[in-house]
Chains A and B, each alone.
Chain A
Amino acid sequence: MSATAQLAERPSKQPPKSRHRTSFNEGTGRLAAILLSPTLLVLALVVVYPIISALRESLYTSGQQIDEEGFVVEGSQFVGLDNYTAIFSGETGERFWNAFYNTTFFTVTMVVLETILGVAMALVMHKAFKGRAIVRASILVPWAIPTVVSALLWKWIFQADGAANALLGTQILWSTEGWQSVLSVIIADTWKTAPFIGLLTLAGLQTIPDEVYEAAKVDGANAWQQFLRITLPLVKPALLVAVLFRILDTLRIFDLPFVLVGANKDSVETLSMLAYDEASNTRYGPAAAYATILFLYVAVVAYVFVKLLGADILGDAVKRKPNGRRRRKDKDAAPPGANTVAMAGSTHGGGSVA
């Protein structure tokens, strides 16, 4: 309410400034287009072109085929939706659904585990007054280590006579096949990224004023109630963005299972690994079809996530605009909720373009 009142007052209070601004902004649309063109051009080349090209590619087969009269045909051939129908049936179908299941399973378990652990870490760090610098530095270590190196590191720990078995007193062959290799991938990924979620959540926690908790204490709320009713809702925007990016990241997981367990292992093969495997065997058509399906899957998940939970990806940026003066213009450009819509819209647009 006060914001609208301010807005109503402002033009009358500072007419010269607002006039100055309009002249300052004359023709900015064109200037903006020119200044943004390098970035958009690069992204068109390295993102939009490949996506469209993958879609086209997925309708072709490449390599040698034998045609109806028994002649060898070289080069790519248009096969329509054959690559896609093959995905959903028969032997390749089994492999695809397995990879699809693995990808989904990894995403759900990892993101849930990492979120719980990350939030717990953030709460601990928020409470701790000593040793914050040490924690912050050590939390960045798993994040900074290349995934490949961390995969090898965990492979080493999970060796037959490695540290994990020595510690647990077991003889499990971890990174080979089956549930134990799935578990080893989950552990390795959780180790690497839970601290990261913790870091982002901590940033959210630090924006909550102490007074809110004091008021809750006066009202007799216990620690658990405070967490559920105050901490969680207030930290939700920061947490949702972190979780969304983790979800999108896990959906395309490749290097960790690829290095930790290896290629062509049923129990950990993900959609990215499947597509990579097909591409490295020069079966570009099916590979592109797998990649396209993964792309659509990611787009749908992002869309649903943003729609259902309202993860406000742009909201933060819009809110943070420092000049109150500009709020009015922003209001025009972006009515409440437009950020979410813009986000969802572009994801959707990306999907339909491809």
Chain B
Amino acid sequence: MSTNIKAAEASPVRRYLPLLGVAVIVLYCLLPFYWMFVSAFRRPLDQFDNSLLPSPWSLDNLKAVFGEGVGFGRALLNSLIVAGVTTILVLIIGLIAAYTLARLDFRFKNVVLAIIITTSMFPGISLVIPLLKLFIDIKWINTYQAMIVPSLSFALPLAVWTLTTFFRQMPRELEQAAMVDGCTPAQAFRKVILPLAAPGVFTTAIITFIAAWNEFLIALSMVNKKEIQTANVAISKFTGISGFDQPFGTQMAAGVVVTIPLVIAVLIFQRRIVAGLTAGGVK
């Protein structure tokens, strides 16, 4: 038996198989993205060229994205406003709830936690339709708040869940020590816990921001004016020169513009994002 194991360990197949597997996974994840990237840098007339690298490289598609009348810059700004405000609101409201859930002992705690998680599971469409009617009545259509408020429905449970896990990992003695030194519970939270929890809060902020930035259904339903639509909706509605063909070059370029900041953020903060995602166990 033991010789068997040794033989298996020594065999080059066993040793290099994982590396090969890693290569396959990396290719699997990155090839489609690579294709979008190179397509964005082709000349519009080489658009249907299937060579692996654009020849020659061209910025025409990118210029077209930011061209006049497309309003993509504005759409990016809208996305930034909606996702940014959603994240800030969610953090402010969610921090208090998460800290309460992590630290205080009270009846129905698990029930409250379960309710909060459950709310993130409801299908977006069953929330959007009634809210759409409501927003028509109160004249919120084509406003930022019409996109921000419904976004809280998935972003807030996500953040509360992740933050609760982070707070639980911090020893309770921290506040107790602070209170022995004369802090009120609120001061202990503000002066001791919050600075120490900053990495966790930051992680939650990134995950919330990415989720809100990627949102589509709400933004599509609540807005029909071009000036206020988010980048995702704008990309999906790009029209070509003729009505029929889809302007893929422009769309790929816009996709790259939307994605590159996210990809960079992911590369820089990958450890934290993974910690946040696995801590929450929630999408």
Interface residues of A (CB under 8 A from B): 25, 28-29, 31-33, 35-36, 38-40, 42-43, 45-51, 53-54, 57, 121, 124-125, 127-157, 159, 161-163, 166, 191, 195-196, 198-200, 203, 217, 220, 238, 241-242, 245-246, 248-249, 251-252, 254-255, 259, 271-272, 275-276, 279-280, 284, 287-288, 291-292, 294-295, 298, 302, 313-314, 316-318, 320-323, 326, 329, 333-334, 338-339, 342-343, 345-347, 350
Query: Would B126 and A292 count as touching, CB distance under 8 A?
Result: yes
Query: Would A153 and B105 count as touching, CB distance under 8 A?
Result: no
> How far apart are the CA atoms of A198 and B22 in the complex, in Å?
12
Query: Would A140 and B126 count as touching, CB distance under 8 A?
Result: no
B101 to chain A, nearest CB (A): 8
> How far apart are the CA atoms of A54 and B127 in the complex, in Å?
8
Interface residues of B (CB under 8 A from A): 1, 5, 17-19, 21-22, 24-26, 28-30, 32-33, 35-36, 39, 48, 50, 93-94, 96-97, 99-101, 104-107, 109-119, 121-134, 149-150, 152-153, 156-157, 160, 164-165, 168-172, 210, 213-214, 216-217, 221, 232-233, 235-236, 246, 248, 251-252, 255, 258-259, 262-263, 265-267, 270, 273-274, 277-278, 281-283
Residue of B nearest to A218 (CB): B1
Query: Would B116 and A130 count as touching, CB distance under 8 A?
Result: no
The B contact surface, by secondary structure, is: helix
> How far apart are the CA atoms of A245 and B117 in the complex, in Å?
11
Known: A137-B266, A141-B33, A147-B214. A284 touches B129 (CB 8 A): yes
| A-chain residues with CB within 8 Å of residue B116 when the two chains form the complex | 39, 43
Query: Would A155 and B246 count as touching, CB distance under 8 A?
Result: yes
Query: Would B251 and A152 count as touching, CB distance under 8 A?
Result: yes
Other A-B contacts than A159-B248, A343-B117, 6 sampled, CB-CB below 8 A, are: A57-B130, A140-B270, A145-B263, A249-B283, A272-B217, A346-B118
B265 to chain A, nearest CB (A): 8
| A-chain residues with CB within 8 Å of residue B246 when the two chains form the complex | 155
Query: Would B122 and A321 count as touching, CB distance under 8 A?
Result: no
Query: Would B100 and A42 count as touching, CB distance under 8 A?
Result: no
| A-chain residues with CB within 8 Å of residue B129 when the two chains form the complex | 50, 54, 57, 275, 279, 284, 287-288, 291
| B-chain residues with CB within 8 Å of residue A163 when the two chains form the complex | 35, 50
